[in-house]
Chain A
């Protein structure tokens, strides 16, 4: 039952109700006969099923595919590598990453955005507009590995020449 309350809370959260509206909704739910509510839910299940059958071949809605991802940004991931794991201060992390990106020929020194006083992750997100994200992550990981001496894997990958 505890899980059901959590699931109901999740559904209600998506409605964005204010306290007064929430109170009204709970009172309304108390007044509705269980059979009525059950019929309404069954009807929703039916229409959801009908939609999935209709959309089997023809794509009718693409909005859900283009929603922005809520997963960690490249800035957040780099911040984790350099500030949390490698324990570098923001200015040092930014300077070292800049040096590596410039040395790798990925960006000209003059094109690197200034750090400003904002968080490292926000600076990295601006860098990513000019340098491919995978290259920023590569450089940040190489830097991270220089400072963090973890035991590593028993089996690791070599290079083609090995």
Chain B
């Protein structure tokens, strides 16, 4: 694995909204894919949602099955020998795997100065929502924290695609995050999800240092756009200054497509350049907010 470009600890971005369907996976996959390349950063994506949509978006099914057989998924980060049972965990003080051992290279520049890696997701994560024993989950949480701390030393940026709930995994993600990137669609549901998330973060007692909130308007139509939600958001006393100026515009290229597995901006289609330019503008602004560029 190539060495990182900075000696600073990498920022950790949790992509999260308390409402589903707001584009968390779109942001985690496609914005980060452009960010890694345009800013030349070593970027680690962690699929931390039991639905593992991020993994299904960019990894072909046959490759995923091999990775799963080799225990090369997020579950190995959480537990040393993942149990097949949905109701038990393996408690151990063993250190987490190395980033290079559990992640796969999705993209890499010539010479390897920058790369985009993915820790594939796993449905098995769902068991942490079913187990109601904080003591049993404590070593799991500690191991995840250790893994992310290690990634912060080796990478320039860590991005965690979280699941939209107030579960054990959400808390784990928030505890390691330096920033929370909240995609918000211009509808009442996702904007209320932002408020719920903000309340959740501010009330979470285990969060010693609150992560910085960044809001990204996602799925903005290029025509017939009703800006009511955007106007509420941008003029809001708490969220206005946290809302990125560049929105992510709606594009069918960014939407999940059953016949295409991979990053949207790599799709050999006609409108790719327009979408890439928009995603690039978002990535550049995000990079500045995260302190990745001066």
Chain A positions near chain B (C-beta within 8 angstroms): 48-49, 51-52, 55-60, 62, 64-71, 74, 132-138, 141-142, 144-145, 150, 152-160
Contact = CB atoms under 8 A, between A and B. Distances in A.
Contacts of A136: 245
A56 B34 CA distance: 14
B-side interface size class:
35 or more
A157 B187 CA distance: 12
A91 to B, nearest CB: 23
Contacts, number: 114
Contacts of A145: 231, 235
Nearest to A7: B270
Interface stretch (B49-57, B65-73, B132-140, B191-199): B191-199
Nearest to B214: A134
Given A55-B266, A60-B110, A153-B229, A135 B280 contact: no
A144 B108 CA distance: 45
Interface string B166-196: 0000000000000000000000100110110
B244 interface: yes
Contacts of B268: 48-49, 51-52
B199 A58 contact: no
A67 B232 contact: no
B237 A156 contact: no
B292 interface: no
A74 B107 contact: no
B232 to A, nearest CB: 6
A142 to B, nearest CB: 4
Contacts of A70: 274, 277
A49 B249 CA distance: 27
Contacts of A154: 188
A72 to B, nearest CB: 10
A1 to B, nearest CB: 19
A134 B276 contact: no
A118 B239 CA distance: 32
Given A57-B106, A141-B240, A160-B199, A67 B277 contact: yes
Contacts of B276: 64-65, 67
A160 B107 contact: no
Contact of A58 (B110, B240, B249, B272): B110
A141 B239 contact: no
Contacts of B278: 69, 71
A150 B231 CA distance: 10
B89 interface: no
A59 B202 contact: no
Contacts of B237: 159
Contacts of B285: 133-134
B251 to A, nearest CB: 11
Given A65-B34, A67-B277, A142 B240 contact: yes
Nearest to B265: A65
A155 B192 CA distance: 8
23 contacts: A48-B268, A49-B268, A55-B266, A57-B107, A62-B37, A64-B273, A65-B34, A66-B38, A67-B280, A69-B280, A71-B278, A133-B285, A134-B285, A135-B241, A138-B243, A141-B234, A141-B240, A150-B231, A152-B228, A152-B232, A157-B194, A157-B232, A157-B239
Contacts of A138: 234-235, 240-241, 243
Contacts of B273: 64, 67
Contacts of B274: 70
Given A65-B38, A137-B245, A157 B281 contact: no
Contact of A158 (B106, B195, B231, B235): B195
Nearest to B187: A153
Contact of B188 (A69, A150, A155): A155
